[in-house]
C-alpha cells in the first residue's frame, strides 16, 4: 500500500496528520477487515465490574484502570426523575452518577470512551434489574 500524508481540515476536528493511507486502500478495505479491527478494539476496551455487598455499590473499571463507584440503592424518585429526562441508559446513568456520586464521578464517566461508558451503563442496569428481581424473590 502506498501512502500519502492526509491534509489538515480547517476546523481540526478530524485531522489525521500522522496517518498515511493511500486512497486505493479505501477501495480495497471490506466489512470483514473492519469487523476484525472492531473486534480487536472491543477486546482491548472491555470494562469490568465488581459488586460490593457491604456498601451496596457497583464498582466499574475502565480499560485504562479508571474506577467509578455507583450506588445500587437508589430511590424511586431519583429513578423517575432520570427516566423523565431520557430513556437512554447512558444519559440515565450519567444523571444518576451526578445525583448520587457527585460531579467528580460524573466527570469520570463522561470522560471515558463512549463504547466503554455505554457497556458500563448497560451492565449497571442489568445488575440493578437482577437485584430488583432477587429482592422480589425471583
**What pLDDT does residue 15 have?**
57
The overall average pLDDT reported for the chain is 83
Question: What are the contacts of 22-31 at 24+ separation with CB within 8 A?
Answer: 25/1
**Tens of pLDDT along 71-102?**
898 888 988 888 888 888 778 878 888 888 78
Please spell the DSSP secondary structure of 15-65, one letter per residue.
--TT-B--HHHHHH--HHHHHHHHHHHHHTT--EEEEETTTTEEEEE-TTS
In the chain, domain spans? 1-44, 48-135
pLDDT at 26 over 70: yes
pTM assigned to the model: 0.72
Residue 12 has pLDDT above 90, yes or no: no
Amino acid at each position: 500500500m502506498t501512502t500519502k500524508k492526509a491534509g489538515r481540515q480547517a476546523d481540526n476536528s478530524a485531522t489525521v496528520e500522522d496517518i498515511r493511507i493511500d486512497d486505493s486502500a479505501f477501495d480495497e478495505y471490506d466489512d470483514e477487515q473492519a469487523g476484525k479491527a472492531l473486534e480487536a478494539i472491543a477486546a482491548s476496551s472491555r470494562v469490568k465490574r465488581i459488586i460490593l455487598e457491604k456498601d451496596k455499590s457497583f464498582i466499574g473499571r475502565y480499560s485504562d484502570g479508571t474506577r467509578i463507584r455507583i450506588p445500587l440503592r437508589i430511590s424511586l424518585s431519583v429513578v423517575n426523575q432520570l427516566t423523565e429526562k431520557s430513556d437512554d441508559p447512558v444519559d440515565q446513568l450519567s444523571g444518576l452518577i451526578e445525583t448520587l456520586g457527585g460531579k467528580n464521578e460524573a466527570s469520570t464517566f463522561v470522560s471515558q470512551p463512549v463504547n466503554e461508558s455505554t457497556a458500563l451503563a448497560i451492565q449497571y442496569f442489568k445488575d440493578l434489574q437482577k437485584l430488583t428481581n432477587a429482592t422480589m424473590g425471583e
